[in-house]
Amino acid sequence: MSEQSDPAAQAPQADQAVPSEPRRLTRPETEWQRVSPRYIPVDMLGILVFGAAVTVAGFTPFWLGWREGWVIGAALGAIVLVTLALTPRRVRAIGYLLREDDLLFRRGIMFQRFVAVPYGRMQLVDISRGPIARAFGLAELKFVTAAASTNVLIPGLPLAEAERLRDHLVAVAETRRAGL
Amino acid sequence: MTDPTPPRTDFADGEWHRLHPATPLFRGGIAVIAILGVLIVNLRDRLLAMVVGGDGADLPPTGGDLEADAIDFIVRENLVLAALAAAVGVLLLVIAGFWLSWRVHTFRITDEVVEVRSGILFRTSRKARLDRIQGINIARPFVPRLFGAAKLEITVAGNDASVPLSYLRGADADALRRDILLLASGAQRVAPQTGQTIGAASIGGMLEERVTDLLAPELDVEGLAPESVVRMNPGRLIGSTLLSDTMIVLVGLLAAVAITGVAFGELVLLFALLPGLIGVGGFLISRITRSLRYSIAATPDGVRVGFGLLSTTNETLPPGRIHSVKVSQPLLWRPAGWWQIAVNRASRSTQNGAAGQQQTTILPVGNLDDVRAVLRLLLPEVATDERAPVLDQGILGRDSEGGWTVSPPRARVLRWFSRRRNGYLVDEAAVLLRTGAIWRSLTIVPLTRTQSVSVVQGPLLRALRLGAVHVHTVAGPILPHIGALDRADAMRLFDDVATASLRAARADTSHRWRQA
Nearest C-alpha neighbor of B74 from the set B43, B53, B37:
B43
Strands B133-140 and B312-317: antiparallel
Q: Are the beta carbons of B454 and A115 separated by less than 8 Å? A: yes
Which pLDDT score is estimated for A43? 93
Q: How far is A27 from chain B (nearest CA, A)?
A: 8
Strands B347-348 and B158-159: parallel
Which pLDDT score is estimated for B507? 87
| Chain B touched by A175 (CB under 8 Å) | no
Tens-place pLDDT, residues B40-94 = 777 777 677 666 655 544 445 444 455 566 777 777 777 788 888 988 998 899 8
Hey, how many other C-beta atoms are within 10 angstroms of the C-beta on A32? 14
| Chain A touched by B172 (CB under 8 Å) | no
Percentage of chain A beyond pLDDT 70 is 89
| Residue A159 identity (one-letter amino acid) | L
Q: Are the beta carbons of B452 and A1 separated by less than 8 Å? A: no
Q: Which residues of B touch A179 (CB under 8 A)?
A: 320, 448, 505, 508, 510-511
Which whole-number Å values give the CA distances from B364 to A7, A173, B293, B332, B359, in the listed order?
48, 39, 12, 15, 11
Sequence length of chain B is: 516
Residue A36 and residue B38: Cα distance in Å, rounded? 72
Residue A151 has pLDDT above 80, yes or no: yes
Q: Which of B451, B479, B496 sits opposite A121 (nearest CB)?
A: B451
Nearest C-alpha neighbor of A102 from the set A158, A155, A163, A173:
A173
Nearest C-alpha neighbor of B329 from the set B369, B294, B288, B371:
B371
Contact partners, residue B326, CB within 8 Å, separation at least 6: B341, B342, B343, B441, B442, B443, B444, B477, B478, B480
Q: Are the beta carbons of B488 and A102 separated by less than 8 Å? A: no
Contact partners, residue B336, CB within 8 Å, separation at least 6: B236, B239, B240, B243
Q: What is the DSSP letter of B310?
A: S
| Residue B388 identity (one-letter amino acid) | A
Q: Are the beta carbons of B495 and A1 separated by less than 8 Å? A: yes
Q: What are phi and psi of B307, to 5 degrees?
A: -140, 160
Nearest C-alpha neighbor of B214 from the set B158, B147, B304:
B147
Residue B188 and residue B182: Cα distance in Å, rounded? 8
Q: Which residues of A touch B456 (CB under 8 A)?
A: 111-114
Residue A16 has pLDDT above 60, yes or no: no
Average pLDDT over residues B362-373: 90
> Where is pLDDT greater, at B301 or B411?
B411
Tens-place pLDDT, residues B215-240 = 555 555 455 555 567 777 888 888 88
Residue B357's pLDDT band, with cuts at 50, 70 and 90, is: very low
Tens-place pLDDT, residues B327-336 = 999 888 999 9
| Residue B353 identity (one-letter amino acid) | G
Hey, how many other C-beta atoms are within 10 angstroms of the C-beta on A100? 8
Which one of A92-101, B164-173, B231-240 scores highest in mean pLDDT? A92-101
> Where is pLDDT greater, at B227 or B473?
B473
Residue A1 has pLDDT above 50, yes or no: no
Which pLDDT score is estimated for B363? 87
| Chain B touched by A149 (CB under 8 Å) | yes
Q: Are the beta carbons of B498 and A1 separated by less than 8 Å? A: yes
Residue A13's pLDDT band, with cuts at 50, 70 and 90, is: very low
Residue A34 has pLDDT above 90, yes or no: yes
Average pLDDT over residues B139-153: 85
Average pLDDT over residues B313-332: 89
CB burial readout B384-415, b (16+ within 10 A) else e: eeebeebbebbbebbeeeeebbbbbebbeebb
Tens-place pLDDT, residues B389-414 = 999 999 998 888 888 999 999 999 99
Average pLDDT over residues A100-122: 93
Q: How far is B320 from chain A (nearest CA, A)?
A: 9
> Where is pLDDT greater, at B185 or B460?
B460
